[in-house]
């Protein structure tokens, strides 16, 4: 009886996270139409790869592979950072936040479930960038790297989406949260190490980057393609997982805090 | 937890602090609700009437847990709205008026599926429950259309369906018929009446007096954050039954000076004007006396007056009388 009830509770929790998360993605993500999806999530980041490859070739900073690997991972920030922010901020736009906050169900499942579709979206974007980028630039993807590549992509997408959710939590309190998202996107270009070799970055930039998502994932991916051992790749990935968990905790804490503040201080125009 | 009361509020109050300006911020405290007492029995349909900004929505938001009271207490089915918010949320539904509050890009069906998840409806019950509610509110056949193409009336029906997904025992309806056409408003009233017949407790706020008169078992009138009167619609109407209600058609524009002249006339409690087509209709509440009719016409002597009628007081008369401070207290 208890086992059945535990199983039923677990299945309802999974349903809220996955089914609810999927519905919320369709409801709240602004870029699901084909022109927006292709233009913003695929074409734009692809041109970014070619731009930095060109800069690298012109200034002899690094080779094509360096920019392809870095920017393929960085491309996940479009769906993950902006999308996860929309997952909260658009509730205000539609006037639905109050109806959501009246839910008696777990906030961790409601908000955590919302991150999953964006992570899957980010995964798809990274895969597209890697395949098309490699094809156009004439680079090979050795079969031995594919399993590691998949692991890096999954961790990077989750880490970036949780970072986006932490920023999105601010939308419960701040109306113009997209100003922050634009700054965060630029921050990732600068500090993630996607376009600047870490060894040429000052220590303080590396230090900031190590607390941001994608920094360690890019490091892991480059190590993988440089033929590093499984342990070496995973030591960087573990750091990325730690960053992801940090942002998950921050997002949960901020969402709970702002929800409480909205009740206590009437700080939110919820309806 | 068992109690005969579905909604209880004791000395419920809520204030807001506002701040404007950055360099020299001006801080202001607004007392939105000041010491409201409510006791609504199970299965009752209770109306909360009041002008805009009276504190109706703030009261509802405290009762449905979206806002914490600044002072005082409130309980829903015995559960404290501040301490037992989760228990309260499991048992209540909230429907509000207006165009917003729905996911525009989703169909009505997907909106309901998502909120069924959020409100904890058992997975195997979700689709039958949604179909039943679509049928009840009259949206069957349109459920696969995106909400962005819905009319105000259809949205309002969807709001009601959403509020009922988890079979709440207490339903808060905050101006559900605002902006809805008369046919859709009648449909909404039928749905609400059916809910109450089924045992649901409903707290309704509305600006439509006819709606409140038709539906509500009891009504409270709130103004400036305080309850001014409470009773059945008949009891509230009885408050002004001792007054004559005169309506005078005027074929010129009635100015504030005319209304002031009427209000200054002995025996006249209240005078209001409303434009109806090409004529202004002056409504006068006056203590019965032989000279009222003549006194009213004398006050409007410089205007072209037409038909003068005397009628029974309505709930609207009672409401205006309470809001304007002519009558106060419990019925």
Nearby residues of A216 by Cβ (< 8 Å), 6 or more positions away: A210, A236, A237, A239, A240, A243
The answer for A 185-244 residues in CB contact with B (under 8 A) is none
Q: Which of A221, A226, A267 is nearest to A70 (CA)?
A: A221
Do B75 and B201 lie in one domain? The reply is: yes
The answer for B 156-175 residues in CB contact with A (under 8 A) is 162
Mapped onto helix, strand or coil, the DSSP state of residue A195 is coil
pLDDT at A271: 38
Interface test with A, best of B57, B105, B147 (most A CBs within 10 A): B105
Q: What percent of chain A has pLDDT over 70?
A: 97
Q: Which of A28, A13, A21, A171 is nearest to A105 (CA)?
A: A13
CATH number at residue B289: 3.30.70.100
CATH number at residue B174: 3.40.50.300
Strands B226-231 and B268-276, how do they pair?
unpaired
**8 A C-beta contact, residue B208 and residue B316:** no
- Residue B265 has a CB neighbour count (10 Å cut-off) of 17
> In the structure encoding, which two tokens stand for residue A30, read together?
């602004």
Whole-angstrom distance, CA of residue B218 vs CA of residue B233: 6
Do B194 and B283 lie in one domain? The reply is: no
The answer to whether residue B326 is domain-embedded is no
Q: Tell me: the pLDDT tens digits for A45-82? A: 999 999 999 999 998 888 999 999 999 999 999 999 99
Do B205 and B83 lie in one domain? The reply is: yes
The answer to whether residue B153 is domain-embedded is yes
Whole-angstrom distance, CA of residue A171 vs CA of residue A86: 9
pLDDT at B328: 45
Do B217 and B288 lie in one domain? The reply is: no
The answer to whether residue B331 is domain-embedded is no
Q: What percent of chain A has pLDDT over 90?
A: 70
Do B94 and B19 lie in one domain? The reply is: yes
The answer to whether residue B236 is domain-embedded is no
Q: Tell me: the pLDDT tens digits for A182-229? A: 899 899 999 999 998 888 889 999 999 999 999 999 999 999 999 888
- pTM for this prediction: 0.85
Whole-angstrom distance, CA of residue A195 vs CA of residue A188: 10
Do B159 and B284 lie in one domain? The reply is: no
**pLDDT band, residue B238 (cuts 50/70/90):** confident
Q: Does B91 touch chain A (CB under 8 A)?
A: no
Interface contact flag, B66 A270, Cβ < 8 Å: yes
Number of domains forming the structure of chain B: 2
Do B130 and B271 lie in one domain? The reply is: no
pLDDT at A2: 59
Do B66 and B183 lie in one domain? The reply is: yes
Give the per-residue SS3 of B182-246: HHHHHHHHHHHHHHHHCCCEEEEECCCHHHHHHHCCEEEEEECCEEEEEECHHHHHHHHHCCEEE
Across B57-157, the runs of DSSP E, i.e. the strands, are 71-76, 79-80, 92-96
The residue range of the domain holding B305 is 244-312
Chain B neighbors of A271, CB-CB under 8 A: 57, 61, 66, 96, 100-101
The answer to whether residue B57 is domain-embedded is yes
Search chain A and give the residue with CA nearest B122.
A12
Name the strand (E) or helix (H) holding B247: strand B244-250
Q: Does A99 touch chain B (CB under 8 A)?
A: yes
**How far is B252 from chain A, CA to nearest CA, in Å?**
43
Q: Tell me: the pLDDT tens digits for A229-243? A: 888 899 999 999 999
pLDDT at B290: 59
Interface test with A, best of B13, B89, B114 (most A CBs within 10 A): B114
**How far is A191 from chain B, CA to nearest CA, in Å?**
33
State residue B47 phi and psi, 5-degree precision. -100, 140
Neighbour-count burial of B157, counting CB atoms closer than 10 A to its CB (0-12 exposed, 13-18 middle, 19+ buried): buried
Do B13 and B112 lie in one domain? The reply is: yes
Do B307 and B269 lie in one domain? The reply is: yes
**8 A C-beta contact, residue B219 and residue B46:** yes
**How far is B227 from chain A, CA to nearest CA, in Å?**
22
Give the per-residue SS3 of B144-178: CCEHHHCCHHHHHHHHHHHHHCCCCCEEEEECCCC
Q: What percent of chain B has pLDDT over 70?
A: 96
**pLDDT band, residue B1 (cuts 50/70/90):** low
**pLDDT band, residue B237 (cuts 50/70/90):** confident
Tokens 């395949």: give the residue. A131
pLDDT at A270: 41
**pLDDT band, residue B209 (cuts 50/70/90):** confident
Do B252 and B193 lie in one domain? The reply is: no
Do B186 and B297 lie in one domain? The reply is: no
Tell me the mean pLDDT in the region B256-284: 85
The answer to whether residue B222 is domain-embedded is yes
């Amino acid at each position: 009886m208890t086992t059945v009830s535990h199983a039923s509770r677990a299945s309802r929790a999974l349903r809220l996270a996955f089914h609810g998360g999927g519905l919320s993605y369709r409801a709240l993500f602004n870029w699901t139409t084909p022109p927006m999806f292709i233009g913003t999530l695929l074409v734009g980041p692809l041109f970014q790869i070619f731009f930095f490859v060109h800069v690298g070739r012109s200034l002899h900073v690094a080779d094509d592979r360096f920019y392809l690997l870095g920017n393929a991972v960085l491309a996940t920030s479009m769906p993950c950072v902006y999308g996860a922010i929309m997952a909260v901020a658009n509730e205000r736009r539609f006037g639905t936040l109050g109806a959501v906050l009246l839910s008696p169900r777990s906030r961790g499942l409601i908000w955590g479930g919302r991150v999953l579709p964006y992570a899957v979206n980010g995964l798809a974007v990274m895969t597209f960038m890697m395949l098309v980028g490699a094809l156009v630039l004439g680079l090979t993807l050795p079969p031995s790297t594919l399993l590691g590549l998949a692991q890096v992509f999954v961790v990077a997408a989750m880490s970036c989406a949780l970072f986006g959710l932490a920023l999105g939590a601010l939308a419960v309190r701040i109306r113009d949260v997209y100003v922050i998202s634009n700054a965060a996107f630029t921050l990732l270009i600068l500090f993630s190490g996607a376009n600047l070799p870490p060894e040429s970055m000052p220590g303080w930039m590396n230090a900031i980057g190590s607390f941001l998502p994608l920094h360690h994932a890019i490091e892991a991916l480059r190590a993988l393609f440089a033929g590093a051992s499984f342990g070496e790749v995973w030591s960087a990935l573990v750091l990325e997982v730690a960053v992801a968990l940090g942002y998950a905790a921050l997002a949960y804490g901020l969402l709970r805090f702002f929800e409480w503040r909205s009740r206590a201080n009437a700080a939110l125009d919820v309806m | 937890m068992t109690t005969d009361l579905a909604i209880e509020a004791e000395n419920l109050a809520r204030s807001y602090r506002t701040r404007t300006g950055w360099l020299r911020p001006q801080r202001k405290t607004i007392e939105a609700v000041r010491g409201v007492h409510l006791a609504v029995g199970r299965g009752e349909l209770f109306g909360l009437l009041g002008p805009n900004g009276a504190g109706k929505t703030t009261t509802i938001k405290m009762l449905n847990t979206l806002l914490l009271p600044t002072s005082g207490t409130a309980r829903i089915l015995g559960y404290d709205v501040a301490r037992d918010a989760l228990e309260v949320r499991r048992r209540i539904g909230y429907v509000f008026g207006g165009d917003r509050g729905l996911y525009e890009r989703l169909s009505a069906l997907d909106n309901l599926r998502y909120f069924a998840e959020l409100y904890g409806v058992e997975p195997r019950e979700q689709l039958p429950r949604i179909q039943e509610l679509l049928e009840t509110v009259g949206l069957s056949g349109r459920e696969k259309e995106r909400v962005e193409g819905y009319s105000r009336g259809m949205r309002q029906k969807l709001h009601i369906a959403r509020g009922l997904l988890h079979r709440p025992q207490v339903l808060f309806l905050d101006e559900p018929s605002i902006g809805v056409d008369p046919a859709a408003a009648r449909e909404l009233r039928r749905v609400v009446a059916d809910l109450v017949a089924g045992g649901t407790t409903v707290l309704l706020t509305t600006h439509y007096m006819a709606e409140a008169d038709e539906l509500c078992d009891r009504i409270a009138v709130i103004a400036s954050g305080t309850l001014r009167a409470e009773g059945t619609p008949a009891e509230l109407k009885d408050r002004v039954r001792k007054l004559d209600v005169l309506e005078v058609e005027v074929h010129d524009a009635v100015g504030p000076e005319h209304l002031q002249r009427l209000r200054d006339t002995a025996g006249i409690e209240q005078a209001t004007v409303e434009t109806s087509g090409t004529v202004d209709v002056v409504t006068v509440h006056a203590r019965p006396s032989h000279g009222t009719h003549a006194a009213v016409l004398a006050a409007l002597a410089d205007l072209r007056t037409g038909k003068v009628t005397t009628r029974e007081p309505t709930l609207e008369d009672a409401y205006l009388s309470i809001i304007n401070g002519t009558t106060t207290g419990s019925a």
